[in-house]
A and B are shown apart, each in its own frame.
Chain A
Amino acid sequence: MMDIVESRTGNVVTLAPQGRLDGASSNGFETRVLGHIDAGDIHLVIDMAKLDYISSVGLRVFMLAAKRLKPLGGRVIVAALQPSIKELFDVAGFSAIFTIADTPEAAVAMFTAS
């Protein structure tokens, strides 16, 4: 099981998946993320500092979240991407879809500033 550390600052929820987001752990991550969206949490920060690996099933969850949030006026900001994962986001064309912040604090600040 992959741990997902959660915190809240005002109306921004930060989720920090730990370790590997792959075929074994992506369902749990998807359930958590969509659960928040369904509960009305539409400002999400995904803190990727402790994420070592993500495969295409994991990327799929990000895509799903972005599509659900857009009509709700919400969005996902991803923070602290490790270099391999940043490169993957570029390859997948995700850098055009997701705002990328250096740190989760900066990501939260982007929400509260807007």
Chain B
Amino acid sequence: MQAAIALKNDLSELERLAEGLQAFVAANGLSDKTLFAVNLALEELVTNTISYGFTDDRPHVIDISLRLDGDDLHVRVEDDAVAFNPLENAAPDLGAPLEDRPIGGLGVHLVRTLMDDVHYAREGARNIVSMRKRVNQELE
């Protein structure tokens, strides 16, 4: 099954993203755990894009697509924001003492950990993040 969610570049759209994901997960019998992971990963990417990706005041669209292929859930995020590879950030040092741990920087680490595969590509004027998560429907 497939679904597409088009978000405006406004943080208030995160609620609609969550609702769209809930509907998809329910329709496909996926688990709460999968919903949690995918929601978190997408919220992270979309929040970054909305917050930092656009330099004009015009409305933009961020296209999310979901596709279940056997035991693999494919998630794609496409936008026309400035060229930005969210995967370029270094992983945080999780063993560092509290004083040395920065307050931010966890988001991309979470995306990489919660999803099984994450790829970034720039095609023309568009950023494309493709992700895959294995979901075992029988066990869900």
- When the two chains form the complex, which single residue of B36, B92, B101, B109 contacts A53, counting CB atoms closer than 8 Å? B36
Size of chain B's interface in residues, with CB distance under 8 A?
Answer: 28
Can you name 30 A-B residue pairings with CB atoms under 8 Å? A23-B11, A24-B14, A24-B15, A53-B18, A53-B36, A53-B39, A53-B40, A55-B40, A55-B43, A56-B43, A56-B44, A56-B104, A56-B106, A56-B110, A57-B47, A60-B106, A63-B101, A63-B103, A64-B103, A67-B98, A67-B103, A83-B33, A84-B32, A88-B36, A88-B40, A91-B109, A91-B113, A91-B114, A92-B110, A93-B101
- Residues of B at the A interface (CB closer than 8 Å) are 11-12, 14-15, 18, 32-33, 36-37, 39-40, 43-44, 47, 92, 94-95, 98-99, 101, 103-104, 106-107, 109-110, 113-114
* A88 to B37 CA separation, bound complex (whole angstroms): 9
Q: Kindly list chain B residues whose C-beta atoms are within 8 Å of the C-beta of A84.
A: 32-33, 36-37
Q: How far is the CB of A53 from chain B (nearest CB, A)?
A: 6
A59 contacts partner chain B, Cβ-Cβ < 8 Å: yes
- When the two chains form the complex, which single residue of B37, B92, B98, B114 contacts A70, counting CB atoms closer than 8 Å? B98
Q: Kindly list chain B residues whose C-beta atoms are within 8 Å of the C-beta of A92.
A: 94, 106, 109-110
Q: Kindly list chain A residues whose C-beta atoms are within 8 Å of the C-beta of B33.
A: 83-84
A5 contacts partner chain B, Cβ-Cβ < 8 Å: no
Q: Kindly list chain B residues whose C-beta atoms are within 8 Å of the C-beta of A93.
A: 92, 94-95, 101
Q: Kindly list chain B residues whose C-beta atoms are within 8 Å of the C-beta of A22.
A: 14, 18, 43
Size of chain A's interface in residues, with CB distance under 8 A?
Answer: 23
A49 contacts partner chain B, Cβ-Cβ < 8 Å: no
Q: How far is the CB of B64 from chain A (nearest CB, A)?
A: 16
Q: A59–B47 contact, CB under 8 A? A: no
A4 contacts partner chain B, Cβ-Cβ < 8 Å: no
Q: Kindly list chain B residues whose C-beta atoms are within 8 Å of the C-beta of A106.
A: none
Q: How far is the CB of B125 from chain A (nearest CB, A)?
A: 26
* A14 to B95 CA separation, bound complex (whole angstroms): 28
A66 contacts partner chain B, Cβ-Cβ < 8 Å: yes
Residue of B nearest to A71 (CB): B99
Q: Which 4 A-B pairs have the closest CB atoms?
A: A93-B94, A56-B107, A84-B36, A55-B43
List 4 additional A-B contacts (Cβ < 8 Å) besides A20-B18, A88-B36, A93-B101.
Answer: A22-B43, A24-B11, A55-B44, A67-B98
